[in-house]
Structure 1
Amino acid sequence: MKLQRNGRSKALAIGAMALVSSLSLAACGSDDNTSSSTATGSAGASSSAAQIACGKGGQLLAAGSTAQTNAIDVWKAAYGAACSGSTITYGGGGSGAGVQQFNQGKVSFAGSDSALKPAEVDASKAVCKTGQGINLPMVGGLISIVFNVDGVDKLVLDGPTVAKIFDSQITKWNDPAIAALNPGVTLPAADIQAIHRSDDSGTTANLTGYLAKASAGAWTYPASKTWAGKGGQSANGSAGVSAQVKQVKNSISYAELSYAQTNNLKSASIATGASKPVEATAANAATTFAKAKIAGTGSDLALSLDYATKEEGAYPLVLVTYEIVCDKGNKADTVDTLKSFLTYTISDAGQQAIGAKGYVPLPKELTTKVQAVIPTLA
């Protein structure tokens, strides 16, 4: 199931960039990023609705990743406009909470920004009576290092510096390590207010995965959903940390790009070893996704992402949100609607719709693989 190199990688890159280039034509969904259970259909939602094959109806319960909440809102609006007999209810709570609820049989699918661990797969077999939980990549995104620093509009950071900031080894904005990355920028002699997630978070898992690979040993903790760095403040969910950065002067945190855009937060560029720092844009994240490899087996499509990439224009801090479902043993009364909803979300229309909200449409070769698995769910 691994993606082959050369021709297939080139095809991935072309597919990813083609989707990203179409974002300006794909502004589906409302500009309202609130997470209400009911959504009114906009012109974009109505357009997408025409392409949706509805299931048998009923209520579909899901929970998990807050990074994908804005994407789910867009999809709910379009799906609800097409399928009036179906209700999609998504509760955030973070990736850890979502996986826990899935393995307790409380939701039909969970959103997680990190793939299931072996122990979580084993636990899923009690719920997926004739199968097990699998990872279906659905939402591509990037993690912005968001900041609110007096007098600073643009900021460059690298892996070691980000690690030291979030582990309280660098505590002042005018620290020589930050100054060296930002020549000509007047940095205040102010204390850094570092903010991390308080809940178990797939976004945290991806950030710490990046730090473990790209910090030259400055980050001494393993990649994990649970925050391990020293010091700092904490807030719940992507919305929580974003709101804190917006309110607190001289602060820094990490959040999915959609939340950075919604809150009008500035995002740092990342020095990767390429010829110039890489900006936090969907196009630059797409370059990284184009080189992703499938690490899962069978119908499990967990990805291996290269956090340490030094390729020109490749933004390293990416994440993918998986929808966690049973390959076999899904709830009989909702499996039809589950398959219908996921078929829409992984479609070109579904992927392009969330591209307008700061997400990264997944490469065509990857979406084709997901589209092949969904009809086999039972």
Structure 2
Amino acid sequence: MKIMRPMGVVGIAACAALVLAACGSDPASNNSGNQNSGAPAPSGTANVECGGKSPLSAEGSSAQKNAIDIFSLKYQAKCSGQQVNYNPSGSGAGVKQFNAKLVDFAGSDSPLKDGEEATAAKTRCAGNDAWNLPLVVGPVAIAYKLQGVDKLTLTPEVAAKIFNGGIKKWNDPAIKAVKGNEGLNLPDKDIQVVSRSDESGTTDNFQKYLKAAAKGAWTQGDGKQFKGGVGNGAAGSNGVAQAVKTADGAITYVEASFAKDGLTAAQLDSGSGGVALTSETVAKSLDSASFKKEGSKDLALDLDKIYASNTPGAYPLLLTTYEIVCSKYDNPDIAKAVKAFLTVAATDGQQPLSEKGYVPIPQSLQTKVLDSIKAIA
């Protein structure tokens, strides 16, 4: 697989490009956020005990970089003089830096894996468990650039075969046969797959989706490294989006807000007809969400049920951005600042994201997140 030169990361001035966003509402505003989301919006404020370490250090998911920028501004407004330095190096790098005790918390598009990764995190936390706390939930697009084709429907099976090389041409009969693609002028052109070259939670979630939904068409497994074995690689969400924009006939998987300005997001047909990627269709998928460890303060979501579902009108390809933290820190100043920052992010930090029209965190999930944050010691 060829590796493309990494692209720059979008900065704070591009907050509108955030891909994964939760929305909330300030009770005083009488604004319910995304009213078509199908889930109640979380409340917008909470008591925050400011202080502790400044600046906090964090690293990880590039998909949530713009969210962290917004959260940081709200944190500074709530807690004067407090700052967070966040390096959007990718989920894999963030977890490694956290486990090496080089940062105070990590951002990841997938939770810590049981086994070596979780064990290393527990060691880093001085024998205490590390928790995965979801702050934003949002969709992943299968984004493409193909001249003359502005609406395309893919089944999980067809998507799997594109990303593992089983389908190589845009006019392949399997693509033409998908309901909704009738009459499309699909060209005799090579499909150019673009994947993440760096370790990525987006890659992990996308491959988990294919594994769960593609009914045996994806046998390559999952993980933060792309295992399809075809195409070119580019670093970061912006990197893969830019790579596809420059190549007619290219396709990738990327967080939804990067699927714009020349890219088109494919509709997904899980068995009940093609479903476009919207906040409403993603919210409908959240109805079947559950936790991997019910009753625990570790809030890693079990998304397999969503990925494998065929609920009519539901868009199942989504991911959760987690902040990975110690349940108990060996430095109380770090614990105090982490709790303050995450409390602001889960409350005041939500409203600006809702104004961008993204998927809301349900009230019930926000309540669980705040309960876990309170328990950090």
TM-score range, shorter chain: 0.7 to 0.9
Q: Does 1:53 align with 2:48?
A: yes
Task: Return the alpha-carbon distance in structure 2 between the equivalents of residues 358 and 317 of structure 1.
Answer: 18
Q: Deviations over 1:280-335 (max 9, x none)?
A: 11221111123210112521111111201111111110100111000012543222
What is the identity, as a one-letter code, of the residue corresponding to 2:157? Answer: P
| TM-score normalized with structure 2 length | 0.84
Q: Deviations over 1:248-292 (max 9, x none)?
A: 21111011112224x453111100111x31111122111112321
Q: Does 1:174 align with 2:171?
A: yes
Relative CO higher for 1 or 2, CA cutoff 8 Å, sep ≥ 6? Answer: 2
Preserved CA contact (<8 Å) 2:342 2:373: yes
Task: Return the alpha-carbon distance in structure 1 between the equivalents of residues 358 and 259 of structure 2.
Answer: 11
What is the identity, as a one-letter code, of the residue corresponding to 1:136? Answer: L
Partner of 2:370: 371
Task: Return the alpha-carbon distance in structure 2 between the equivalents of residues 285 and 145 of structure 1.
Answer: 14
Partner of 1:145: 142
Partner of 1:33: none
Preserved CA contact (<8 Å) 2:50 2:340: yes
Partner of 1:101: 97
Q: 1:246/1:84 Cα in 2 relative to 1: closer, same or farther (>3 Å)?
A: farther
Deviation at 1:355, TM superposition (A): 3.3
Preserved CA contact (<8 Å) 2:110 2:201: yes
Task: Return the alpha-carbon distance in structure 1 between the equivalents of residues 117 and 331 of structure 2.
Answer: 19
Preserved CA contact (<8 Å) 2:51 2:79: no
DSSP-derived class of the 1:334 partner: helix
Partner of 1:68: 64
What is the identity, as a one-letter code, of the residue corresponding to 2:270? Answer: T
Partner of 1:268: 266
Preserved CA contact (<8 Å) 1:19 1:363: no
Preserved CA contact (<8 Å) 2:171 2:188: yes
Unaligned runs of 5+ in 2: 1-24, 26-31, 38-43
Identity of aligned residues (%): 44
Question: Within 5 A, what are the aligned runs for 1:114-193?
Answer: 114-118=110-114, 119-181=116-178, 182-193=181-192
Task: Return the alpha-carbon distance in structure 1 between the equivalents of residues 69 and 259 of structure 2.
Answer: 17
DSSP-derived class of the 2:55 partner: strand
Partner of 2:218: 219
DSSP-derived class of the 2:242 partner: helix
Partner of 2:275: 278
Equivalent of 1:21 in 35, 47, 56: 35
Task: Return the alpha-carbon distance in structure 2 between the equivalents of residues 222 and 129 of structure 1.
Answer: 32
DSSP-derived class of the 1:204 partner: helix
DSSP-derived class of the 1:21 partner: coil
Task: Return the alpha-carbon distance in structure 2 between the equivalents of residues 246 and 166 of structure 1.
Answer: 18
Q: Does 1:343 align with 2:339?
A: no
Question: Within 5 A, what are the aligned runs for 1:79-90?
Answer: 79-90=75-86
Task: Return the alpha-carbon distance in structure 1 between the equivalents of residues 369 and 330 of structure 2.
Answer: 17
Q: Deviations over 1:116-137 (max 9, x none)?
A: 1122221112221151211111
Preserved CA contact (<8 Å) 2:299 2:369: yes
DSSP-derived class of the 2:274 partner: coil
Task: Return the alpha-carbon distance in structure 2 between the equivalents of residues 132 and 216 of structure 1.
Answer: 35
| TM-score normalized with structure 1 length | 0.83
Task: Return the alpha-carbon distance in structure 2 between the equivalents of residues 252 and 264 of structure 1.
Answer: 12
Q: 1:371/1:285 Cα in 2 relative to 1: closer, same or farther (>3 Å)?
A: same
Query: RMSD of the TM alignment (CA)?
Result: 2.0
What is the identity, as a one-letter code, of the residue corresponding to 1:20? Answer: N
Partner of 2:298: 300
Preserved CA contact (<8 Å) 1:290 1:363: no
